[in-house]
A and B are shown apart, each in its own frame.
Chain A
Amino acid sequence: MGAISRFMVIAAAILVVIIVLGVYLALRPGTPAPTPVVTPTPTETAPIISRKDTLKVAIGIDLDTLDPQGQTTTVVINVLRHVYETLVWYDDKGNVIPWLAERWEVSPDGLTFTFYLRKGVKFHDGAEFDAYAVKANADRWADPNVRVPLRGQLPLKGAEVVDKYTVKIYFDKPYAPALRAFAWYLLITSPKVIEKYGNSTITEAIGTGPYKFVSWEKGKRIVLEVNDNYWGDKPYIKRIEWLIIPDATTRVAALLAGDVDFAYNLPPTDMERVRGAGLQIVTPVSNRIMFIAILPKGPLADPKVRQALNYAIDKKAIIDGVLYGLGVEARAPLPPHFFGYVEMPPYIYDIEKAKRLLAEAGYPQGFKVTLLHPTGRYLQDKQVAEAVQAYLSKIGVQVELRTMDWPSFVAELRKPLAETKHDMVLLGWGPGVADAHLTLYGQFHSSQAPPKGLAAAHYSNPEVDALLDQAARELNEAKRLELYKKAIETIWWDAPWIFLYTQKWFYGASANLKNFIVFVDGEQIFFHKAYFS
């Protein structure tokens, strides 16, 4: 046998082994009985609790900071919310409920919030939780010398101690989402910590929560241990390790191998494999609405054209085919669980209607546009952009895709209208607080158009501006809902977006992990009541 042919035989043999192995791993049938999508509910019957009390959770990104006032990222806040608590919180219907504050009052002008605090709560460093602690945190949030990226979402002015357990927090002007924002943003740390760090970044996590912060090994893991002096119910799980596993496929592998008990943000393409292995699949609705912002340029300045684009896209097909079901069709320019949500009649997929509208607007032959989109930022973002491109080509609208990595994409987004090189943008908008103000103001108020903000559609409508301004100040919730209803109706038919879908998360959990709480707005998971069966 010649040297060459022997080389070929060995190479072929190795190749065959690799391919057979790959095909086997890809096609291998899972455990036959598929588990249905599980939304865990608290069980009332006495649970059979395993003695296992260490929980391992895989997350995709590392923390950026432990500073309670420096938080921006959902997953990071999720980890730290096991350590830090807030004055108020949400029940499972999304209503604001007492937490570190037992009750509160809002002054008639909406400028003063008085919180009556829970007594006997201690921070992990032994300091007492009282009005002075709340004041220290609120003042630090308001201090312009402290790095508080999301200060604008809770624009409070400062605080005043009334007595040891009563504190007043002031605003310059009425801010309707304030209470919900308190529940989300004002994480409370020990006054000793604030005294120690002052304006500079806080690099330790001392809260009042059910878990104490133990360590953060950067790029590797965060360890929490149970707080034995917790004022509320004691958790079953004594120790939580949050492991940082950047690669989504590796997170699936870690879950399948039993190295972790819970894994965040798995690739939708692996859903069947996770289900087949008998694991729990958790797919809560996120706070992020996905859309294609349409800039008022050329033919796109005509609302008829923008409506045509909405009719031309089969959102249900994109959700089922491209997102593996991980989306909820948009029926308003915000997620369905937000305060202020109003369901609008859908733009039903209808190519003929879309063509007719284009013809009426004077573009029977269609036109060319450029769609800017990020890659690797949102679930299947590139694939969604490609699907939109294909749908629009059916009505004669030729779409050129401009793909960018996230930092470059944001830099491009910040350009003023005259400098933009794109006509449409695929973007997601996911504020922490599930309140219409934070989505609608950020995306449709003319003051937020780039370069001042990131309102990607450069939408400008004085009527909508007035409604949004009024709604932001309106303290009567019924009146506020009415204002948002009007604004949403106008926006919906004006169609500055192609309204796509609200993104869902895809998490996986081991079969025996019970009673973890999926937070009401779907953004976070809590383990302080979880146990292993």
Chain B
Amino acid sequence: MSLANYIIYRITQAFITFLGASLLIFLFVRLLPGDPARLIAGPEALEEDVQRIRVQLGLNKPLYEQFAVYMASLLRGDLGTSIKYGTPVLDEILTRLPYTLALAFTAEALAVAIAVPLGILAALKPRSLVSQLVSVLAVVGASLPVFWTGLMLIFIFSVELKLLPSSGSGSPRHLILPSVTLAFFLIGNLARITRAAVMESLGSNHVVTARAKGLSLSKILMRHVLRNSLVPILTVASVQLGALLGGAVVTETVFAWPGIGSLLIDSLFFRDYPLAQGVIMFTIGAFILINIVTDILYALVDPRVREILWKTV
């Protein structure tokens, strides 16, 4: 199978996943107790006004009819209209998307830039201080709640030192604290994986041979070790990135960062079915896309993967 065919195969597969997911999401979102019309109007509104809103939104129709309308417009590429804002769901997502992209990629890049060198150093000197630091970071970073880290950073760098804005968006300075908060959460895991992968390749026969040949350490690292360690690092980084693209809900809330995550939370609290569905579908789409890209990258960095993948499908 050629690369082009492989990509087509993966996209078809993704499309089917996507349709199945849309049915599940449609049902799950409506399983939550609550009535969007009442939530819009507030408790003090009269029932007759609320009922009129229900009719205007089509919420009084049977579920299968609502689903048919939803699927028909979805197949036309229309995600529907937000109940709360009265604007197209796609517009709402696209307004928030740049913020999510900026935060996700900055945080992940920061995490990779710190974690990979740290992991390599730790692998080269397994009993050193660096190696211990990696272990501790992995535990601390993953177990400290993100909102706590975030608030601490705000109180230190904004309230006390007055170096950075406490929250909001609009300049690169605003991006620093939220991405550091997220990166702190990601670094430990990524560094641990890097260390393990590099240690494994360091012990493998071809590296031992290369050493015996008298190759310099830097050459061995670049040519033989890192290339072989890339697959697990790529896997972890892409899963992390996929999760971040779905919105870093807590970080976004703490830093008032107007991304996809806060949009999702907002839409669920308002039982804004079309908007919630749209955001979740988008998140799933982003995850699928990243998986496809990662698989292609695997194939590019590893000839064995290339062969196995393309032959079996």
Which residues of A lie under 8 Å from residue B144 when comparing CB positions? 18
A147 at the interface (CB under 8 A from B): yes
Q: Once the chains are docked, how many angstroms separate the CA of A427 from the CA of B85?
A: 27
Q: Are B44 and A442 in touch, CB under 8 angstroms?
A: yes
Stretch in A238-246, A291-299, A346-354, A503-511 with 4+ CB within 8 Å of B = A238-246
Question: Complex Cα distance A432/B40, Å?
Answer: 15
CB of B293 closer than 8 Å to a CB of A: no
> Complex formed: what's the CA distance from A201 to B43 in Å?
21
Bound Cα distance A218, B133 (Å): 41
Give chain A residues whose Cβ lies under 8 Å from the Cβ of B39: 406-407, 410
Q: Are B42 and A72 in contact (CB under 8 A)?
A: yes
Given contact pairs A64-B84, A64-B85, A253-B158, A407 touches B165 in the complex (Cβ within 8 A): no
Q: How many positions in chain A have a CB within 8 Å of any CB in the partner chain?
A: 65
- On whether A410 and B34 interact (CB within 8 A), knowing A7-B136, A72-B42, A152-B46, the answer reads yes
Asked if A150 and B44 sit within 8 Å, CB to CB, the answer is yes
Q: Which of B35, B39, B168 has the most CB of A within 10 A?
A: B168
**Known contacts A10-B136, A218-B92; A250/B166 CB under 8 A:** yes
Interface string of B129-167 (1 = CB under 8 A from A): 100110110011000100100011011101110100111
Segment among B200-208, B214-222, B263-271, B277-285 that sits at the interface with chain A: B263-271
B144-195: which residues lie under 8 A (CB-CB) from chain A? 144, 147, 151-152, 154-156, 158-160, 162, 165-170
Interface stretch of the complex, out of A124-132, A256-264, A387-395: A256-264
Q: Which residues of B contact A217 (CB under 8 A)?
A: 95, 258
A119 interfacial by beta-carbon distance below 8 Å: no
Is B4 on the interface with A (CB-CB < 8 A)?
no
- From B49, B53, B170, B269, A406 is in contact (CB under 8 Å) with B269
User: Distance in Å from the Cβ of A435 to the closest Cβ of chain B?
Assistant: 12
Contact A249 B140 (CB under 8 A): no
Is the CB–CB distance between A408 and B154 below 8 Å?
A: no
Interface string of B28-62 (1 = CB under 8 A from A): 00001111001111111111111011001000000
With a CB–CB cut-off of 8 A, which chain A residues contact B170? 220
Judge whether B127 is part of the interface by a CB distance below 8 angstroms: yes
CB <8 Å contact, B159 and A410: no
Nearest CB in chain A to that of B163: its residue: A257
Contact mask for chain A residues 362-384; partner B; CB cutoff 8 A; 1 contact, 0 none: 00000000000000000000000
Indicate if A32 sits at the interface (CB-CB under 8 A): no
CB <8 Å contact, A257 and B34: no
Return the contact of B132 from the options A6, A67, A73, A453 (Cβ within 8 A).
A6
Chain B residue at smallest Cβ distance from A410: B38
Contact A219 B262 (CB under 8 A): yes
Contact of A7 among B41, B96, B132, B271 (CB under 8 A): B132
Decide yes or no: A410 and B167 within 8 Å by CB, A14-B140, A247-B254 being known contacts. no
Q: Is B34 a contact partner of A407 (Cβ separation < 8 A)?
A: yes
Q: Give which listed residue, B40, B45, B165, B259, contacts A152 with CB less than 8 A.
A: B45
Q: Does A454 contact B (CB under 8 A)?
A: yes
Q: A149-B45, A259-B165 are in contact. Are A250 and B132 (CB under 8 A)?
A: no
Chain A residues within 8 Å of B, Cβ to Cβ = 3, 6-7, 10-11, 14, 18, 21-22, 25, 62, 64-65, 67, 72-73, 144, 147-153, 200-201, 203, 217-221, 243-247, 249-250, 253-254, 256-259, 405-408, 410-414, 427, 429-432, 438, 442, 451-454
Name 20 extra pairs, CB < 8 A, besides A3-B127, A67-B86, A247-B254: A18-B144, A22-B152, A149-B50, A153-B44, A217-B95, A219-B95, A219-B266, A220-B168, A220-B169, A243-B168, A245-B256, A250-B166, A253-B151, A253-B155, A259-B158, A259-B167, A407-B35, A408-B33, A411-B33, A451-B47
Nearest 7 interchain pairs by C-beta: A407-B34, A152-B46, A219-B258, A149-B41, A201-B86, A245-B256, A411-B33
Please name 8 pairs of A and B residues whose Cβ atoms are closer than 8 Å in the assembled complex, sorted by A: A3-B127, A148-B49, A149-B41, A150-B45, A219-B95, A253-B159, A259-B158, A259-B167
Interface residues of B (CB under 8 A from A): 32-35, 38-50, 52-53, 56, 84-87, 92, 95-96, 127, 129, 132-133, 135-136, 139-140, 144, 147, 151-152, 154-156, 158-160, 162, 165-170, 253-256, 258-259, 262-263, 266, 269-271
